[in-house]
Amino acid sequence: MIKTGIEAMSFYTPHRYISLATLAEKHGIDPEKFSRGIGQEKIALPGHDEDIVTMAAEAARPLIDRYGTEGIDTVLFATETGIDQSKAAGIYVHRLLGLPANCRNVELKQACYSATPALQLACSYVARRPDRKVLVIASDVARYDRESSGEATQGAGAVAMLISADPKLLEIGAVSGLFSEDIMDFWRPNHRRTPLFDGKFSTLRYLNALIEAWRDYGENGGKAYEDFARFCYHLPFSRMGEKAHRHLAKSAKASLDMEMALPGMLYNRVVGNSYTASIYLALISTLENSEDDLTGKSIGLFSYGSGATGEFFDATVVSGYQEHLFTQHHQAILEDRVPVSYEDYVELWGAPVAKDGEELTFEVEARGRYRLAGINDHKRIYVDTRA
């Protein structure tokens, strides 16, 4: 049987953030409501010349620079904050990265879940064509109405994964547990810039989907709880991962060891919610922040997208995985960021929107290689600053 999985993966998040302590001070509440209550410290903030395309290209660039473009004939772009109802965001990324012209390119959507079916589709494809590779990208900007209950769970980021029949990081297991139901826990109609949601209801349905997917995973021949060294969860906020892990351990009638899940929450605490990228940011965080060698160990992953769909699956860490991480690069991204005032946060939150084909030109704010230079005649103009 051909092994398929993740050859390499990297992430990107903008260089500015607002501390949740600053947000708490502005709203006159105890900062521990955020640091302890939801387990968050910072919210990543994109500039007006940054969006899901620029973050995606930045996340994928290290993969292209190290492994090249040979064999890549598919780009799967997962997002719930799409920029066009027709054109896939990956088309822009394809050009920015200089990928081969003979390439398929599509966008997938199902709330925060769609990067997982992208990964599964990619594994199935490279199993049939082991000489090919798939670039899977998850990129999102989580934006909620200011002074709403969701404001503290904002964030922005992208994760890029190179999927191949020569996985150097993780081999993806063949068994999945699935669950879907039609509910209104979180949604964003076309006419709205920010989502509508029922936070308490969504939390309950998340936990229900976890148990249902876990049950289905077991019935399909999946591994036992005790077989896993680590667990990664979709993290709209870090405390949700703690709730999920506690819930799963109870359902499996296993002793609770929160250290099996905590390494995956470290990056999320300082980036915030990144929707489709969230669980894969947790996976990177797990690989880069676990003190022990995970070679040969199993990681359980639960992916959730409101509306709702959940999937539980497993991955096995490949020998020599440490050589294919981008730990120093990622830590530099996080350490080089700068905090902003509440007033600057409000200005960044209110990014201008082009109407009726008007022309917008954006000042240079992005520190990365790629930026959105402007919008003109309904067309988004992306540039490579090194070209």
Q: From the annotation, which residues make up the binding site for (3S)-3-hydroxy-3-methylglutaryl-CoA?
A: 30, 144, 243, 273
Tokens 């920015």 belong to: 96
Q: How far is the C-alpha of 330 from the C-alpha of 327, rounded, in Å? A: 5
Residue 148 contacts residue 197 (beta carbons within 8 Å): no
Amino acid, single-letter form, for residue 149: S
> Alpha-carbon torsion 69, 74, 77, 83, what sign?
positive
Annotated binding site: 30, 144, 243, 273
Q: Please, which residues bridge with residue 372 across strands?
A: 382
Residue 25 appears among annotated catalytic residues: no
* Active-site hit among 58, 80, 171, 311: 80
* Active-site hit among 48, 94, 234, 245: 234
Q: How far is the C-alpha of 13 from the C-alpha of 327, rounded, in Å? A: 14
Those residues whose C-beta lies under 8 Å from the C-beta of residue 327, and which sit 6 or more positions away, are 288
**ω into residue 244 within 30 of 0, thus cis?**
no
Q: How far is the C-alpha of 189 from the C-alpha of 347, rounded, in Å? A: 24
What 8-state DSSP symbol labels residue 320?
T
Amino acid, single-letter form, for residue 24: A
Residue 171 appears among annotated catalytic residues: no
Q: How far is the C-alpha of 298 from the C-alpha of 147, rounded, in Å? A: 41
Q: How far is the C-alpha of 22 from the C-alpha of 41, rounded, in Å? A: 10
Residue 234 appears among annotated catalytic residues: yes
Indicate which residues carry an active-site annotation: 80, 112, 234
